[in-house]
Amino acid sequence: MQPLRTKLFKGMNLTVFSLVMVFLYIPILILIIFSFNDARIVTGWQGFTLKYYKQLFQNRTIQEAFWNTMLIAGLSTLISTALGILTALGLENKRFTGRKGVLALIYTPLMMPDILMGVSLALLFNFTRVNTGMFTVLIAHITFCISYTAIVIQSRLEGFDYSLVEAAADLGARPSYIFWKIKFPLMMPGIIAAALLSFTLSIDDFIITFFTSGRGFDTLPIYVEGTIRRGTITTINSLSTLMIGFTLLLVVLTKRVRKIIISAM
Amino acid sequence: MSTSRHVIAEKKRNRSSWLLSLPTVIWLTIFFLIPYLVVIIYSFLTPDTYDVKFEVSFDAYRQIISGGYLKSFFQSFKLASITTLLCILLGFPVAYYIARANEKLKNILLIFIIIPFWTNLIIRIFSWRIFLSYSGVMNQMLMGAGLISQPLEILRTNTAVVLVMVYVYLPYMILPLYSVLEKLDFTLLQAAMDLGANEVKSFFKITLPLSVEGIFAGTLLVFIPALGAYLIPQLVGNQKSLYVGQIITYKIKNIPRNWPMASALSLTLLLLVALMLLIMYGMYRYHKNRRKY
A37 forms beta bridges with A48
Inter-chain contact B18–A121, Cβ cutoff 8 Å? no
pLDDT confidence bin for A84, thresholds 50/70/90: very high
CA distance A55 to chain B (A): 18
Q: Closest partner residue to B36 among A113, A120, A236, by Cβ?
A: A120
pLDDT, average across residues B199-215: 84
Task: Read off the pLDDT of residues A88-111 as tens digits, 9 standing for 90 and up.
Answer: 999 998 889 999 999 999 999 999
Is B264 near chain A, with CB under 8 Å? no
Instruction: Supply angle C-alpha A96, A102, A103, rounded to 5.
Output: 100
- Number of neighbours of residue B170 by Cβ within 10 angstroms: 24
d(CA B121, CA B164) in angstroms, rounded, equals 11
Task: Please answer yes or no on whether A43 and B135 come within 8 Å at the CB atom.
Answer: yes
The pLDDT of residue A1 is: 42
B239 at interface of A, judged by CB pairs closer than 8 A:
no
- Among A4, A27, A261, the residue with its CB nearest the CB of B131 is A27
- Kindly give the residue spans of alpha helices, DSSP state H, lying in chain B: 2-28, 34-42, 59-65, 70-100, 103-117, 121-132, 137-144, 158-183, 186-194, 199-202, 208-210, 212-227, 231-236, 244-253, 259-292
The upper half-sphere exposure of residue A233, i.e. CA atoms within 13 Å in the direction of its Cβ, equals 21
> What is the pTM assigned to this prediction?
0.90
Residues A23-58 have pLDDT tens digits of 889 888 888 888 888 776 656 677 788 888 888 888
- B84: number of CA atoms within 13 Å, CB side? 19
Mean pLDDT score of chain B: 89
Q: Which is nearest to B288 in space by CA: B235, B213, B222, B225?
A: B213
What is the C-alpha separation between A263 and A257, in angstroms, rounded? 10
For residue A2, the model assigns a pLDDT of 45
CATH class of segment(s) B68-292: mainly alpha
Taking contacts as CB-CB distances below 8 angstroms, the residues of chain B near A247 are 115, 118-119
Asked whether the predicted pLDDT for residue A77 surpasses 80, the reply is yes
pLDDT in tens, B174-199: 999 999 998 887 788 778 878 877 77
Dihedral sign, Cα of residue B280, residue A152, residue A141, residue A222: negative
B262-273 mean pLDDT:
96
DSSP state string for B65-98:
HTSTTHHHHHHHHHHHHHHHHHHHHHHHHHHHHH
Closest chain A C-alpha to B290 CA, distance in angstroms? 26
pLDDT for B47-76, tens place per residue? 988 889 899 999 999 999 887 899 999 999
Report, as an integer, the average pLDDT of A183-203.
Answer: 88
User: What's the pLDDT tens digit per position in B3-43?
Assistant: 788 888 889 989 999 999 999 999 999 999 999 999 999 99
Identity of the residue numbered B262: A
Give the distance between the most distant pair of CA atoms in chain B: 91
How many CA atoms, within 13 angstroms, populate the side-chain half-sphere of residue B26? 8
Q: How confident is the model over B116-136, as a mean pLDDT?
A: 82
Shortest Cα–Cα distance, A143 to chain B (Å):
7
DSSP annotation string for B3-53: HHHHHHHHHHHHHHHHHHHHHHHHHHIIIIIHHHHHHHHHTTSEE-SSSEE
pLDDT (tens digit per residue) in B161-178: 999 999 999 999 999 999
- The per-residue pLDDT for A69 is 94
Instruction: Please report which confidence band the pLDDT of residue B207 belongs to, taking 50, 70 and 90 as the band edges.
Output: confident
Q: Quick one: pLDDT at residue A257?
A: 62
Q: How many residues are there in chain B?
A: 293
Question: Does A126 sit within 8 Å of B231, measured CB to CB?
Answer: no
Average pLDDT of chain A? 86
B254 touches chain A (CB under 8 A): no
Cross-strand pairs, B46? B53
Domains of chain A, with CATH numbers? 64-238 (1.10.3720.10)
Does residue B13 belong to the interface with chain A, where contact is any CB pair within 8 Å?
Answer: yes
Residue B77: pLDDT above 50? yes
